[in-house]
Structure 1
């Protein structure tokens, strides 16, 4: 256990405004953002934080939308990234089949569609290092990890008793524990799940030619194939992250292929050879894909954020950014209540948080589910309709820019 406070032989109860359970990217960012606004915050995670940093490159990365980047800057996290990020300055959306050129009808978001980069790619390990540093450097923020807490909630507040023997009194408990949130289950908040029977393959590739900040979303019958630009290294000056969807059996079979065969399958899905020769580097990861949503985000002295509240298909790369939007909303609402001397865990405050987040999150879930069903098939009629749709949006500048701004979280 570590905490930004003097140690005492027999410390009394720790009084905080908010206790966050779960120190993943969403929970840790929320803790730093609330503390930056002057709230007293405790965060608990059953895992030790340093092992999460993964000192070796492992191929995993996050696409951080422009609005999420602003949040990380305000939380003091972005400034602590130990390595460079890579701006996403162009996004091309295409449709096709493996081993064939993409459809000539496409959608492209270019540099003239926004006054700033659409987002940035950062390595997963870099964000973890920055979050850990921020958690321990932010005044008013107490970190308990590795540790666990037993939460008792009442209309007057919450009491958290940690396995390390500490008692924490909080006005609000935030569940940031992920899709299988024990606090959500304890509150008997029902969850609806949508299985896709698909897996996402995640890895990185070095390539012959520079990406120049361009990302690719190439829709294939089995699901989307995304290439995301990353900052290069001394060993691999031209580097990109890949995320693509396949059926469960095919995904595991592909991930187990020898190096050259795996590289061949990547080339078949790139649509064209604009990056030149590609060479897989780092580890390969396979994740099962599903969507889910909680029927409500709040209970007595409890709020859900991130994957505890919602999970969507990665087709638009919005999963983590959707969690960060929860953080933005909660920080805005709680910051105003705290500044006015109010109770940050009061029922009307939590209702405002749910009203602000849940409808927008449900729209995103419905949109990504519809996109997966529209693009994840080889029906010739639907192929023509979606290709014409992409080209139509591409030609209507205000519509294209509106889509871009929404995806940026601005």
Structure 2
């Protein structure tokens, strides 16, 4: 039943998504082929689980390798094509494809799938905004992908409620060793204790001891000078304190803007893309003589400032810390992703500012950009500074907290909560 249910998922919602991806073509179709390979790898894994016993953890990780490699390939394809006109499409898949990792989640894999589906909808909403008036195929594409993950969640909830179910038949690798000595020994028999001589009144001895007053300390040992650590330093020489070591194979989660900067700095132009990477303490980064269809991509930079002269298509700051960017005009948007303590200033026109998984973002606007759209997600400490006639700025905080109430029968109503502190 589990295998047939997954095949229904592949033949139905997955096929619809693949067909729409082929209609759009380009990078979307290429990435869809990787998605199909990932689902096929998981299908083989589920078929194995239906015929084998649960393997050891090491064997399980080895069996999951084909699926995890496809997930990594999907995410890497998005990173390598940030200048693509379908970047939001690629990001929607890249952010939500980890949903296939439900096979390693217990005891609640279905909510995990939903969480990954929600993570990708930040980008599917952007696809809907950009394409709903241009091409309805993209709208259907978004619905097909969201529906595919929704159906995957329903499948997991039905067949693998508390985790991937293994049949318990056969073996996934070497046969398990027989249990030693047959059945486990029975628990030890409690010793016979005669409770008949005990009574609640025996606690009177405790109260009598307490009522002795100061005499209760008469039996305590006196601390002599040779027992005091400040007079006898050798008493302080004990074993080194315990330090917990991380388990083998577990790496700490990456922090926004983190990463080693031991790689050489990069400042180059690759076709329509300007690549500025691993710059540290450089406040004289300048992009000029760029074309209108160019994209400026700044990655893993620290304590640096970038100036973009002229009009370009877009600017992206990815995993940057304490960086600033000043630009004249943008055709589409400026994006901040996984950044910390960043600033931007527009001298001309910018239509959209996108902030995703960023802590600390200062947005200085020009008089021509007061109609800008600011889209934020999973971010904090965001401020918009609006110019005044005297050349000063008025600062406004972007809400980070929201209140949602049930609005019958329409559904939910969400409003920002103003910070008055």
Q: Could you say whether these structures have the same fold, taking a TM-score greater than 0.5 normalized by the shorter chain as the test? A: no
Larger RCO (alpha carbons 8 Å, 6+ apart): 1
Q: TM-score per shorter chain, which class?
A: under 0.3
Q: Give the TM-score taking structure 1 as reference length.
A: 0.21
Structure ranking higher in strand proportion: 1
